[in-house]
Amino acid sequence: MPDYISVSQLNRLAGRVLAACEPLGQLIVCGEISGFVRHYKSGHCYFTLKDEAAAVKTVMFRDKARLLGFAPQDGMQVLVYGRAALYERDGSFQVYAEYMRPFGAGAAQMAFDALRKKLEAEGLFDPARKRPLPPMPRCIGIVTSRTGAALQDVCNIIAHRWPLTELLLAPASVQGEQAEESILAAIRALDADPRPDVLLITRGGGSREDLWVFNSERIARAAAACCRPVVSAVGHEIDTTILDYVADLRAPTPSAAAELCVPDRADVLRALSAMRQNFTNSIQSLYKIWYNHTLELAQAPPLREPASLLAQRAGRLDALRAALQTAAAGRSAYAAQRLQNAAALAATLSPYNVLARGYAMVTDGTGAPRAVEGLRPGDAVTVQSGRAWADCTVQAAGRGRKGENADEQAKDL
The answer on 218 and 132 residing in a single domain is yes
For residue 31, give its domain range.
7-116
Domain's final residue, options 66, 93, 116: 116
With respect to residue 237, please indicate whether it lies within any of the assigned structural domains.
Answer: yes
Both 47 and 93 in a single domain?
Answer: yes
- CA of 224: how far to CAs of 40, 155, 166, 208, in Å? 27, 25, 23, 23
Summarize pLDDT for 100-136 with one digit per residue, the tens: 888 876 777 777 888 889 999 999 999 999 999 999 9
Digit-by-digit pLDDT tens for the chain (413 residues) are 567 888 888 888 888 888 888 888 888 999 989 999 999 889 999 999 998 889 999 999 998 888 787 788 888 888 899 999 998 888 889 999 998 888 876 777 777 888 889 999 999 999 999 999 999 999 999 999 999 899 999 999 999 999 999 999 999 999 887 899 999 999 999 999 999 999 999 999 888 778 889 999 999 999 999 999 999 999 888 888 999 999 999 999 999 999 999 999 999 999 999 999 999 999 999 998 998 888 887 777 767 677 777 888 888 998 999 999 999 999 999 999 999 988 888 877 777 777 777 778 888 877 788 887 878 888 888 888 777 888 888 887 766 665 554 344 333 32
| Domain match, 216 and 280 both | no
Q: Give the other-Cβ count within 10 Å of 253's Cβ.
A: 19
Same domain, 132 and 106: no
- At residue 77, what are phi and psi to the nearest 5 degrees? -85, 130
- For 167, what's the count of Cα atoms within 13 Å in the CB-facing half-sphere? 22
pTM of the model: 0.54
Does residue 303 form part of some domain? no
The sign of the CA dihedral 138, 140, 141, 145 is: negative
- Indicate whether 308 belongs to any domain: no
Contact 43, 24 (CB under 8 A): no
Please check whether residue 53 lies inside any domain of the structure.
Answer: yes
Q: Give domain status of residue 224, yes or no.
A: yes
Judged on CB neighbours under 10 Å (0-12, 13-18, 19+), 344 is: exposed
Residues 79 and 172 in one domain: no
Rounded Cα distance between 46 and 90, Å, is: 15
Domain-embedded: residue 329: no
Q: Which among 7, 30, 10 has a CA at the least distance from the CA of 18?
A: 10
pLDDT at site 1: 52
130 and 238 in a common domain: yes
Hey, CA dihedral for 147, 152, 154, 158, is it positive or negative?
A: positive
Q: Are residues 195 and 258 in the same domain?
A: yes
Q: Per the domain annotation, does 319 fall within a domain?
A: no
Residue 112 shares a structural domain with residue 157: no
| Domain shared by 23 and 46, yes or no | yes
263/407 Cα distance (integer angstroms) = 136
Q: Which amino acid is at 284?
A: Q
What is the number of structural domains in the chain? 4
Provide the angle, in degrees to the nearest 10, between the axes of the packed helices 179-192 and 217-224: 10
Task: Work out whether strand 77-87 and strand 27-38 pair parallel, antiparallel, or are unpaired.
Answer: antiparallel
358: left (phi over 0), alpha (psi -120 to 50) or beta: left
**Looking at residue 411, what is its pLDDT?**
35
pLDDT value of residue 91: 87
Compute the distance between CA of residue 243 and CA of residue 217 in angstroms, rounded to an integer: 9
CATH of the domain at 171: 3.40.50.261
The CATH code of the domain that includes 77 is 2.40.50.140
CA 403 – CA 401 distance, rounded (Å): 6
Which residues touch 92 (CB under 8 Å, ≥6 apart)? 57, 86
Dump pLDDT digits (tens) for 267-311.
999 999 999 999 999 999 999 899 888 888 777 776 767 777 788
Instruction: Kindly give, in sequence order, each residue whose CB lies less than 8 Å from that of residue 164, ignoring residues fewer than 6 positions away.
Output: 136, 138
Which residue, 243, 263, 283, sits at the end of a domain?
263
pLDDT of residue 399: 66
**Residues 176 and 245 reside in one and the same domain:** yes
Q: Is residue 103 located within the same domain as residue 196?
A: no
- For residue 412, the model assigns a pLDDT of 36
Length of the chain: 413
218 and 136 together in one domain: yes
Note whether 393 and 376 are within 8 A (CB). Answer: no
- Most distant pair of Cα atoms in the chain: their distance: 185
Q: Let me know if residue 67 belongs to a domain.
A: yes
Buried b (16+ CB within 10 A) or exposed e, 129-153: eeeebeeebeebbbbbbeebebbeb
